[in-house]
A and B are shown apart, each in its own frame.
Chain A
Amino acid sequence: MTAAERFQERLLDDARISPRYAPWLDRGPSLAALSETPLPEPRSYTWEYSNPNPWYEQNARGTDSRPNAGKVVASGDTRVADFDAADSRERGIIEANLNATIDRRRYPLAAVNDVLLCGGVVIEVPERARGAQIELRDLGGSFERALLIVGAGAEATLVESPAAPTHRVVECLVGTGASLRHLRLQGAADSFEYQLVSTRVEAGASYRFGQYAQGSGMRRNDVHIESAGDGADIGIHGAWHLSGQQHLDTQINVHHRISGGTSRQTVRGVVNDRAKAVFNGRIHIAPHAQRTDAALSAKHMLLARTAQAYAKPELEIYANDVRCAHGATMGEIDGDALFYLRSRGIGEPAARNLLIAGFLEEAMADHGREEARALLSPGSLQPGKLPRPLTRKEVSAFRLPADAYFHEKLS
């Protein structure tokens, strides 16, 4: 019996006991999915370069519940409710929307999250609200969930820096004509983590996602974004800087279901020492998604012979009238650029750091730029050092990246 099978068997056994956290929430569909979907094994599909076994071992030791955690800070008339304390209207909203965007067979660890849930929040931004700001803090334990519903025409910013070892599933529903900027910062850690961001973007809506990370013992970041309405606009920026023995596996799946959507993915990774970065960027364009305009640019820079990076763009295009550009490169510090800087008197370590920062800069969205820079600057690369929580001023300082930025960077 494998570690995954043992974990799964125990999970299904334990699930017969009524859960203590939000017992009203129906875990049935997640349990049903788990009873027929195997959990990821080392080297199984999409887990070729990441070993999930330590994750099972870590979580077999039990979950950590922090019921009095700080949870959520939100501005204005944004409504926030804990799953455990939800009233009947809120329960209705949760039941109608939770997992609406998540295919549990594809993301079985998200179903595990449902079963072991320690803390969850539903956040509602009313229609046409302006400038809503939401910061997710500690959501209550090792398995956390957030469901964010951005009403039609509303404008919101979501920031989070999940503390390790937290397994967090964040689901965002961006309503018609709404816009959501989402910034996620992950500091270094030694633990094993699984995170899923799953977002649905409706017609005319815009979603800007920036994910900046250091690595951990095994950190898997799944990102699933659906373009679900005409003219939905998706921009993804990702950057990572890994050192020591850190591991980071980022799997982004952009699914264009409806015509006329645009998506841009720009990721940059720097890998040093014995660290390992895995990136998979998938663009799926369904048969009806004509006039989709999608692009993906993924570049990695390796700083040591022992550093590893595996990056793969994957295109699944079933429509014929689309534009889809993609590129993935792997390189080192440019020797000519290094000599140029050094010839100006800049010492080698400082010159290398400038080039590293410059390389990552290409993947910085306008929102969260300063925070991301601070997180990924070579000086901050120590395990266990987490990014500090953002101040309110920083949260309100985010700006939307201009379209020109994307086009310039991808050309």
Chain B
Amino acid sequence: MLEITDLRARAVGKPILKGIDLAVRPGEVHAIMGPNGSGKSTLANALAGRADVEVTSGDMRLEGASLIGLEPEARAHLGLFLAFQYPVEIPGVSNMEFLKAAVDSRDAALEREAMSAASFVKSAREAAERLQLTPEFLRRGVNAGFSGGEKKRNEILQMLLLEPKLAVLDETDSGLDIDALRTVAKGINAFASETNAVLLITHYQRLLDHIEPDFVHVLLDGRIVETGDKSLARKLEADGYARLA
């Protein structure tokens, strides 16, 4: 599904990712953990194609296709989805209008038949309900005035509608209370299947109580320094990252 080899990248001229190797197979859930500033979001942004992250060497392949040099929208059309650590507020654009534009763009790029307005509205409503967002959220501006938790749920809502092959979730658990965390985890578990994969970026192991990862990687100073199963997350919680430094 995803193959990252010796990925090196700079953010604003500073080397941040210093040689990352990672392979994710269909049906797997991988967790990437690491202290603040270790480069987790930079890795997510490098995958999604953010302009201020400059990949200097290495490769990232999604189902065999290299992402290097592709526009962000082209990566999305290949099946990549990034749930942002800090979702952006866009007041004048309604959530519904935004979701419809995203789904329509995907269908056009994949030469699929466009969804009818009615069936789109129906699936948007259903997805919202699963995340315990009222239909009102679909009418409001994109993330405009949403609480932290509502923004994160809105990210998962988009993931459910877009049905990506690889979902990269950047600290989707932060800022959630325990009920919201459960709701979000339910959404992610419902999404995960044998044909897609999830890369969970998280700071704490809290989310991993609800979503069982197949692998846990520890990112430290732009490198994956340790890989293990879910017990690694517990160990990190108990010992902290300092031991690994």
A-side residues, CB < 8 A to B, are 334-337, 339-348, 350-351, 354-355, 357-362
A341 to B143, CA, bound (A): 12
Report yes or no: A347 in contact with B90, Cβ–Cβ below 8 A. no
Report yes or no: B91 in contact with A344, Cβ–Cβ below 8 A. no
> Given the interface contacts A357-B92, A361-B92, does A345 sit within 8 Å of B76 by beta carbon?
yes
> Given the interface contacts A336-B88, A339-B51, A359-B92, does A348 sit within 8 Å of B102 by beta carbon?
no
B74-112 vs A, CB cutoff 8 Å, 1 = contact: the mask equals 011100011010011011110001100110011001000
B95-133 vs A, CB cutoff 8 Å, 1 = contact: the mask equals 001100110011001000000000000000000000000
Report yes or no: A362 in contact with B71, Cβ–Cβ below 8 A. no
Output the nearest chain B residue to A361 by Cβ-Cβ distance. B92
Output the nearest chain B residue to A268 by Cβ-Cβ distance. B92
Partner of A347, one of B49, B73, B87, B98: B73
A-B contact pairs, 30 of them (CB 8 A): A336-B88, A337-B90, A339-B50, A339-B72, A340-B87, A341-B98, A342-B72, A342-B73, A342-B76, A343-B82, A343-B84, A344-B102, A345-B73, A345-B102, A345-B105, A345-B106, A345-B162, A346-B105, A347-B73, A348-B71, A350-B101, A351-B73, A354-B93, A354-B98, A355-B90, A355-B93, A358-B90, A358-B93, A361-B91, A361-B92
Report yes or no: B76 in contact with A344, Cβ–Cβ below 8 A. yes
B98: chain A residues within 8 A (beta carbon): 341, 344, 354
B141 within 8 A of A: yes
Distance from B245 Cβ to chain A, minimum over Cβ atoms (Å): 32
Most buried by B among A337, A347, A350: A347
Report yes or no: A362 in contact with B72, Cβ–Cβ below 8 A. no
B48 within 8 A of A: yes
A348: chain B residues within 8 A (beta carbon): 71, 73
> Given the interface contacts A342-B72, A348-B71, does A357 sit within 8 Å of B93 by beta carbon?
yes
B172 within 8 A of A: no
Output the nearest chain A residue to B78 by Cβ-Cβ distance. A345
Output the nearest chain A residue to B84 by Cβ-Cβ distance. A340
A342: chain B residues within 8 A (beta carbon): 49, 71-73, 76
A335 to B45, CA, bound (A): 14
Query: Interface size on B (CB < 8 Å)?
Result: 29
| Interchain residue pairs A-B with the least CB separation, the first 3 | A358-B92, A361-B92, A345-B76
A336 to B51, CA, bound (A): 10
Distance from A200 Cβ to chain B, minimum over Cβ atoms (Å): 32
B202 within 8 A of A: no
Output the nearest chain B residue to A358 by Cβ-Cβ distance. B92
B87: chain A residues within 8 A (beta carbon): 340
B196 within 8 A of A: no
Partner of A340, one of B75, B90, B97: B90
A346 to B93, CA, bound (A): 13
B42: chain A residues within 8 A (beta carbon): none
Distance from A372 Cβ to chain B, minimum over Cβ atoms (Å): 13
A362 to B144, CA, bound (A): 12
Distance from A270 Cβ to chain B, minimum over Cβ atoms (Å): 12
Report yes or no: B91 in contact with A362, Cβ–Cβ below 8 A. yes
Distance from B20 Cβ to chain A, minimum over Cβ atoms (Å): 20
Most buried by B among A355, A357, A358: A358
B75: chain A residues within 8 A (beta carbon): 343
> Given the interface contacts A341-B98, A345-B73, A362-B92, does A350 sit within 8 Å of B141 by beta carbon?
no
A344: chain B residues within 8 A (beta carbon): 76, 98, 101-102, 105, 158, 162
> Given the interface contacts A339-B50, A341-B98, A354-B98, does A347 sit within 8 Å of B105 by beta carbon?
yes
B97: chain A residues within 8 A (beta carbon): 354
B82: chain A residues within 8 A (beta carbon): 343
Report yes or no: B141 in contact with A358, Cβ–Cβ below 8 A. yes
Report yes or no: A354 in contact with B101, Cβ–Cβ below 8 A. yes
Distance from B92 Cβ to chain A, minimum over Cβ atoms (Å): 3
Distance from A267 Cβ to chain B, minimum over Cβ atoms (Å): 14
Distance from B151 Cβ to chain A, minimum over Cβ atoms (Å): 11
User: Apart from A348-B71, A354-B90, what are 4 other A-B pairs with CB-CB below 8 Å?
Assistant: A335-B51, A345-B102, A354-B97, A354-B101
